[in-house]
Structure 1
Amino acid sequence: MPCIESHVILSGSIMDERHNGKGHGAIAIDCEMVGGGSDGSIDLCARVCLVDEDENLIFHTYVQPQIPVSNYRYEVTGVTEDHLRDAMPLNEVQDKILKILYNGESVGRIRLDGEKVRLLVGHGIQHDLDCLRMKYPGQLLRDTAKYRPLMKTNLLSHSLKHLTKTYLGYDIQSGIHDPYEDCISVMRLYKRMRGQDHQVEGLGNERANSGFDSIRSTELEKLTPDELYEISISDYKCWCLDLSKECSLGS
């Protein structure tokens, strides 16, 4: 396992507001959940961490639960009652995270083709956003649990622990989960997938972009396998296109 020194500030929070560079930089997010409700089954975000593409910790805080905690899940989260006693209120957490992600763009008039707004990378990212009671444009989300090349053949998700071992070659989550460590794994997976070198062909070809939908079944039956391959397109957007200025954003 590589040396990943945790920079999480256990007693408070930090935020780096220097991210004003151009380009769609990516931010990785990870949350640790405690349990609420009579049986402790309701996930409550108790800790959230964000890192940038250079693996710098740019935000970390404990989060004040919206309802009483009935299970701290200490063996996994490492969170105790003391950590949450003076934790940051959820609405303040939301404001700080959105300020980082929108990076100077107006929330009400966001330009998805602009260069300031950030891509948000995570594993099971929608669950994290739901627990934070936040929304973020789907075109700007990159989920390592839902990205087709990282999923099982039956389109079920692998765990982050499995993906890290398989693609990055080291172990995580061997004891108490470190959200900084998980963020680093998510960011490294994203950058590895984004860095794949593909030939981007047919982007200006309307027929190719419409795939099989624009061709009658009787016409398809007459085509050879090579001809079918020529007009086929994947049903997901490859993350390598995040680096292409010619392509619009998509998930």
Structure 2
Amino acid sequence: MNMPTDDDRKRLEDELREPLSGWLVKPVASADTAALIRKLQPAFDELRARGDEAPEQAGDVGSGLQHRPSLPRMMLAQLASYPKGYWVASAAVFVMLALILSSYSPPYDGLADLFTLFTPAVLLAGLLYSFRAWNKGMRTIESVTPYPPALLLLCRFLIVIGLNVLLGVSATVYLSVSMESFPFLPFLIRWFSLMLLTGGMMAFVMLHKGIKAGMTAALLVWLVWQGSGMALADGPPTDERLTIAGHTAALALGIALLTLAYRRSLGIRLLK
């Protein structure tokens, strides 16, 4: 078999140039994206105007109420943005944590502290992944949709928080079944209040000051919580009712911060 010469290669390139030219795709440039947004903007403006007029047609003229998107429906739509590996990795962390804690024997001193040491870290990692996977180009395109991109990101944050709450409750139920005289309610409210407070603080600060400030605020909440727990452990015994009241207040504050973050997200068109 003879080796192809330069003339053979050149002839082959000439023969294939025309058939292959139809398969070549020009890379998408920022100017193309901007042009697409300009073309789509009038259509989305029309949809938004129709949505604003709908309450007036229904007899709500002068009520001042604005149409609010369905948060559960938007969260379901955002579920597809998470790969299967994320769900598996999150579940694996809680399974390993539950198996490690199940080896403890009564009294369960420090058991809740160990759980609250790791669960916020898993939550913050998931929230950071939600932001990193939401690239700037996608945020630019979503800026012309009827829903603010900040609201879409908050939906992803709520998905992460909900997943961690579900896995945490499942781990708590497993521990209560597999361990004798397990303090179910004190254990549950301790990590649950910290998780909602951490997630709510990050979401609230993020929508006002940015993602870095949100991560810093959430980390400070976690450090203060751990530091205060260590200080109380070294001091005289604390009344259990006072401890539960403090955790309940933290839980209520976390829910309030998430609610304020949701209201804030409705007015932000593009999150930097």
Shorter-chain TM-score bucket reads under 0.3
Higher relative contact order (CA 8 A, sep 6+): 2
Provide TM-score, normalisation by structure 1.
Answer: 0.24
Provide TM-score, normalisation by structure 2.
Answer: 0.23
